[in-house]
Amino acid sequence: MTAEYGVELRNRTARITIKGKLDTTSAPGLSEELKKLQGQEIDRVVFFVNELEYISSAGLRVIIFAKQKVGVKADIYFIGAQQAVLDILKMTGLTNFLICQDSYEE
């Protein structure tokens, strides 16, 4: 199953929902959606990933892109990640700038 995703900008918060597998097949499409947010005033980038089963290196690049190009000064949240996804984030050091939580309140 490839990833399904949705991107929404509301009240200076980019809300990204990802389901399935974020890999070389699906990551480019999500990256293109995130490019549309460049230049916007964004305080938070929130990834809702409770249904994300797998993330590859291509998916990790999308997360890095979100920090570097969309939300340079924004807080980046990863909400509801499964343990396997959290382990990958920790191994790669992305938890140094990601705020990983079980839930999110605006």
- Report domain extents, the chain: 4-101
Homologous superfamily of 4-101? STAS domain (3.30.750.24)
pLDDT confidence tier of residue 2, bands split at 50, 70 and 90: confident
Please tell me the predicted confidence (pLDDT) of residue 105: 85
Reported as a single tens digit per residue, the pLDDT across 44-77 is: 999 999 999 999 999 999 999 999 988 788 999 9
DSSP conformation class of 65: H
Backbone torsions φ then ψ of 79, nearest 5 degrees: -110, 125
CA 69 to chain centre: 13
pLDDT at 1 exceeding the cut of 70:
no
In order of 42, 46, 52, 58, 72, the CA distances from 10 in angstroms are 9, 11, 22, 26, 17
Largest pairwise CA distance in the chain: 33
